[in-house]
Amino acid sequence: MHQAASSTCESHVNAAELREAWQRLHRAAAPAALSPDMLRRDVAYRQQADRHGGLSADVRRRLAALARAGASQASQPRPRTPRIKPGSTLLREWHGRTYTVLALEEGFEMAGQRFASLSEVARHITGAHWSGPRFFGLRRGEGPPSPRPAQAPAIHA
């Protein structure tokens, strides 16, 4: 355990003392942009890990694998939602009812009511916030949310 850093978790400790504790615990300078609150939290965590053994090797391996998987997913650009041509019709079943939405030059129309976006249409149908393109199954690799087993949405142009 690092005795010199043991009292650095207290709120009255200034930023310079926290940076010194970080230096002792990490054997490296603290990042300049790190706030005193974050320094205090990290120092407290390191002290606790020193006292109680920290994370097991198995947990560290699992976290590293998750970080690698997340990094590879984050580096892939999100697929763009296809542009819906005016005049296209989208059909969506929700709770046993089929909804028909017409794409306009600006916005969408459903049952005579106009909406600025597909997300507004999805919110009107479900009563909750949904990504409109996802709700209507327009995102590649993503099916629409469903209260029942999925049914493919239909698009007619």
Residue 76 belongs to some domain of the structure: no
Residue 1 has pLDDT above 50, yes or no: no
Residue of 137, 105, 140 whose CA lies nearest to 122:
137
pLDDT band, very low/low/confident/very high, at 150 (cuts 50, 70, 90): very low
pLDDT band, very low/low/confident/very high, at 139 (cuts 50, 70, 90): confident
Mean pLDDT of 49-71: 88
Contact call for residues 86 and 104 (beta carbons, < 8 A): yes
Residue 124 has pLDDT above 90, yes or no: yes
Pair 41, 99 in one domain: no
- What is the phi/psi pair of residue 147, to 5°? -80, -10
The total domain count for the chain is: 2
Residue 75 belongs to some domain of the structure: no
Residue 25 belongs to some domain of the structure: yes
For residue 70, how many other CB atoms are within 10 A of its CB?
A: 10
Residue 79 belongs to some domain of the structure: no
Distance CA 46, CA 41 (A): 9
Paired residues of 108 in beta bridges? 103, 115
Lookup: tokens for 65: 């694998």
Sequence-distant contacts of 80-89: CB under 8 A, at least 24 apart: 81/133, 81/138, 81/139, 82/138, 84/118, 84/138, 84/155, 85/157, 87/157, 88/155, 88/156, 88/157, 89/155, 89/156, 89/157
Rg from Cα positions in the chain: 26
pLDDT for res 81: 61
Pair 94, 144 in one domain: yes
Q: Are strands 113-115 and 97-103 parallel, antiparallel or unpaired?
A: unpaired
Pair 36, 94 in one domain: no
Residue 67 belongs to some domain of the structure: no
**128 contacts: CB under 8 Å, gap ≥ 6:** none
Domain end residue (candidates: 55, 81, 97): 55
pLDDT band, very low/low/confident/very high, at 94 (cuts 50, 70, 90): very high
Residue 126 belongs to some domain of the structure: yes
pLDDT for res 98: 94
pLDDT for res 13: 83
Residue 46 belongs to some domain of the structure: yes
Q: 23 versus 152: which is more confidently predicted?
A: 23
Question: Residue 25 sits in which domain range?
Answer: 3-55
Contact call for residues 106 and 100 (beta carbons, < 8 A): no
Residue 33 belongs to some domain of the structure: yes
